[in-house]
Amino acid sequence: MDKTKFSFKNIVLLAVLPVLVSGIVRAIGIFIFVTPNRFAPGGINGLAVLLEELTPLNSGWYLLMFNVPLFFVAFFCLGRREAILSTCSMLLTSLLLIVFGEIDGFLVFDGKSTAEPIAHGLLAAVAGGIFLGLALAIMLKSCGTAGGTAILASVVNKKWEFVSVSWLTSAFDAVVVLASFFVYRDSALGFAENLVPVLIALVSLFVTSKTSDLILHGFKTAYKFEIVTDHPEEIAREIMEKTHHGVTLMHATGMYTHADKSLLVCIIRKRQIAEVQRVIRSYPDTFAYFTATNEVYGKFLK
């Protein structure tokens, strides 16, 4: 019984919940912020938004048309779990967009009645980017794929490994964003004014990427120092006293001189970087460098 409950809980947390949350969040971002402000965020979502602008059909219908064939591609080329989860999430987004479109007076964040439509569009791009980035991060964490164009890019990468998935996905995003110049073009406006939807779309893509990265890489950011020294005891003691973080000692050999050295590794907070640097500078024969770490697990004293 306990094993059944545990398995059911895992299914809900690892499959059902990510699909529901990502589908709902993506639909809200597209319907409330993207479509009313006339910019395309890239990818399959952006293509559907552009087609809605050109035709009477809701973008949800286009997402349905695109994702059904993509499901079969992903199912046979990438894996069942990835295909099912990513497609279910996109189908939920499609259905919600269609439902939202049928509700009169449904909340939209448009700038038709504002004195600064460009500023309003930028706010919409930021908000829409946050929603889309959140949905993207949830799908990447739960099934390892964002769906849409990422599926096609992964298939191409399997056949031609020298073509990177990220490059192909970015290229498709760029095509969609550039296409928005012609879709939203107003002949009564100048070239610079017609570039606004493109620029706003780029802002949305940037915010989407940064939001996704922040969620995927975690909020527990820290910095790792690696210190090669002949004074391991002294340096480690000072660092531990001043930062209250532990230090790990490893033995190393310099391949140029073949001399035995000590390698100290410590993880600290950003505000403690200067403190550790001051300790290291008091030992001139010591070599050190530090890098950012995106996530910290286990015991990490604050």
* pLDDT tens column, 39-57: 998 888 999 999 999 999 9
Predicted local distance difference test score (pLDDT) of residue 220? 64
Instruction: Give the span between the Cα atoms of 29 and 22, in whole angstroms.
Output: 11
In whole angstroms, what is the distance from residue 63 CA to residue 94 CA? 6
The span from the CA of 284 to the CA of 301, in Å, is: 29
Residue 2's CB: how many other CB atoms inside 10 A?
A: 6
CATH of domain 222-293: 3.30.70.120
Q: What is the mean pLDDT of residues 147-170?
A: 74
Residue 8 has pLDDT above 60, yes or no: no
CA 16 from centre of chain: 20
Sign of CA dihedral 158, 159, 162, 165: negative
The tokens describing 44, both together, are: 């399959």
Mind listing the pLDDT tens digit for each residue in 193-236? 888 889 999 999 999 988 888 887 766 678 899 999 999 999 99
Check: CB of residue 52 under 8 Å from CB of residue 59.
Answer: yes
Distances (CA, A) of 197 to 12, 179, 203, 239, 270: 39, 10, 10, 51, 38
Residue range 228-284, pLDDT digits in tens: 999 999 999 999 999 888 999 999 988 888 888 999 999 988 888 999 999 999 998
- Sheet containing 260-268: give its strands across: 247-253, 260-268, 222-229, 287-293
- 3-class DSSP assignment, residue 78: coil
Residue 229 corresponds to which tokens in the numbers above? Answer: 């020294």
How many whole angstroms separate alpha carbon 228 and alpha carbon 271? Answer: 22
Higher pLDDT, 8 or 263: 263
Contacting residues for 164 by C-beta, under 8 A, at least 6 apart: 157
- pLDDT tops 90 at residue 99: yes
Q: Is the pTM of this model over 0.85?
A: no
How many Cα atoms occupy the beta-carbon half-sphere of 85 within 13 Å? 27
Choice between 76 and 98, residue whose per-residue pLDDT is larger:
98
Domain ranges, ordered by start, for the chain: 2-217, 222-293
- 57 neighbors 193 (Cβ within 8 angstroms): no
Backbone angles phi, psi at 186, to 5 degrees: -115, 115
